[in-house]
Amino acid sequence: MGMKRANGTGSVYKRTDGNRRKPYRAIITTGYTDTGKAIRKIIGDFSKAKEAHEALARFTSGVFVNTDKIKFKDVWLMMIEEKKRVRGSINSTFKMASTRLAPVWNMEIQQVKTAQLQSIFDDMTDLSEASMKVIKSLLTSTFEVAMKNDYVSKNYAKLLILPKREKREPLHTSYSENDLRVLWGHTDNEIVRLILVYIYTGLRPVELLHIKINDVYLKERYMIGGVKTKAGINRKIPIAECIYPFIKELYSKGAFSEKKLLGAGRETWWLRRKIDKLCKDLNINRHTAHDTRHTFITLAANYGMDDKILKLIVGHSNSNDITKSVYAHKNITQLIDAVNTLPYGINMTLYPDENWEQRGSNA
């Protein structure tokens, strides 16, 4: 039986067709036929009578949104816009997260419950705990947006339990002697040149992506860039002679603008994909994007680079060193001289230690 409401404000009744999930239907009369028969519009179906009445109230006040038509991806994009208003921009993490959430991407937001989300997270054991926490946080924000707009009444993301990560090989592995020889033998390849730039600067994947043309000083042989820590931001990165031609090439492509050195639209996911493909094409060990930084630190340590200079180049803190104030003022010439001691080329011979690639941790 229908539930009595004031004339012109619609009505709510309980369906008799066996729909147990959403048994309450809200309808509104929008007009009449020539014979006087009411023309009715279905506002939506709801699990509770209260929700149906609230939907009618929103409809009659002119602010109704048919929540059955709102998909998860719609609310996700609304969340992204909110993040942009606060941060000014977003990073590649959002792209990675949205890819992982593909199973619910086109589902109506009202249908996305904890069970669906938990099944997705249970398949994320290949990710780090930090990455899973980021995705859960973004999901929580998405449902907060949905609640704020009355699309859902509960934040199902908060109930998620992060699975334990599967045991894997060490996260970062240096490029082996053979890997480096192969790379130097294929410098006609654009991605190889880019990887070598990463290896011989020690930059984090995201750091090189953010360096602008006007922060590159070719004549003086250094760049300014860096993120993440106080010690790492806006530091001077020396340009080794072996990679100078590669950086000069990148610079020449955007010398008449203030574009980024690697061009616009490049994100870490793009770099990871390129490196993965290259390793397969060249038949060398598979590497992550961060392995280049790990390799630089390993080479520097094995070839006797001064520890204070190494920390300055890679942006690690010297905060526990009583002589920090002295070493913080080492000039760029000293940094350049240091990176020029690292081995390179197809005939390079690395430090005579079978386990050399296991060094250089804490990158």
Instruction: Name the nearest CA neighbour of 171 among 115, 128, 109.
Output: 128
Name all contacts of 190-195 with Cβ < 8 Å and 24+ positions apart.
191/274, 191/275, 191/277, 191/278, 192/278, 192/282, 193/243, 193/246, 193/249, 194/246, 194/262, 194/271, 194/274, 195/275, 195/278, 195/292
Per-residue pLDDT of the chain (363 residues; tens, 9 = 90+): 444 554 556 788 887 776 677 788 888 777 677 776 777 777 777 788 888 887 777 666 654 455 567 889 888 988 888 888 777 667 667 878 888 888 999 898 988 999 889 988 888 877 778 888 889 999 999 999 888 877 888 899 999 998 876 555 555 688 988 899 999 999 999 999 999 999 999 998 888 888 888 899 999 999 998 776 566 677 899 999 999 999 999 898 865 555 788 876 677 778 888 998 999 999 998 888 889 999 999 889 888 898 889 998 988 766 554 444 444 446 889 999 999 999 998 877 665 444 444 444 444
Inter-CA distances, 122 with 94, 125, 159, 165, 170, Å: 19, 7, 14, 10, 22
- In whole angstroms, give the CA distance from residue 265 to residue 257: 15
36: left (phi > 0), else alpha (psi -120 to 50), else beta? left
Domains along the chain? 2-64 (no CATH), 72-159 (1.10.150.130), 177-358 (1.10.443.10)
